[in-house]
Amino acid sequence: MNADQIHMLTKNALRGDIKSLEALFDFLEKFNAPISKFAMYSILYQVIMNNFLNLGKYCEECGGKCCKIGLPVPVYHFDYKELKARLSKDELKNLRKHNGFYTLSRPCPFQDSWKCKIHEFKPYACMSYPFATEDEQKDIMERYKDGIPDFKVPDFCIAGKKVKEFMDEIVNKLRVKLGRDPTPREILNEVLTKF
């Protein structure tokens, strides 16, 4: 699989396509390395956040801070393809091009109050916040050796904290049952029984 295929598989998984998530797990498992294990857990947590829990009220309470503060959002070429197909020429002018790369500045021009106006086709980086965002998880990733990562969630991200609480409950239940840390697939299967 080339880098583009992996990115698109990840993007589809982040949108809630469980077959893509399982295919991504198949791919990452082959490496049998801490970094690939970390990636499996981080994508899983993010898939649960994006697709399984009703978190809108928490994002409303927060006011959409992740779209207001921080470095510009990277827009990869596969994101750009989707944006180009869906946005008008004027709307596309909101993207900045620098050294051949597109970005969206923050505060994001596509934010409407706390909501995203382009939610259905927002960039990969937006779908990755906060569990699969490299900037947020860099320190945890560097220290990671094994087990369930203690993901960092910014204090203002109420939705991310709720996801952690939800996942902690599932992980702890599985730890008691299995006598060890559950694998990403075991957690996924347990979550799927609930929805």
Q: Which residues bind ligand SF4 (CB under 6 A)?
A: 58-59, 62, 64-67, 73, 104, 108, 110-111, 116, 118, 122-123, 126, 129, 156-160
| Cβ nearer to ligand SF4, comparing 6 with 158 | 158
Minimum Å gap between C-beta 190 and ligand SF4 is: 23
Nearest CA-CA partner of 25 in 48, 4, 3, 9 = 9
| Cβ nearer to ligand SF4, comparing 158 with 170 | 158
| Cβ nearer to ligand SF4, comparing 37 with 122 | 122
Minimum Å gap between C-beta 98 and ligand SF4 is: 17
Residue 104 DSSP SS3: strand
DSSP for 149-172, written as a single string: ------TT-HHHHHHHHHHHHHHH
Minimum Å gap between C-beta 99 and ligand SF4 is: 20
Q: Is the dihedral of CA 16, 159, 77, 42 positive or negative?
A: negative
| Cβ nearer to ligand SF4, comparing 146 with 150 | 150
Minimum Å gap between C-beta 4 and ligand SF4 is: 21
Answer for the pair 116, 67: CB distance below 8 angstroms, yes or no. Answer: yes
CA atoms of 177 and 195, how far apart (whole Å): 20
| Cβ nearer to ligand SF4, comparing 106 with 175 | 106
Nearest CA-CA partner of 28 in 6, 54, 48, 12 = 6
Minimum Å gap between C-beta 5 and ligand SF4 is: 23
DSSP state of 30: T
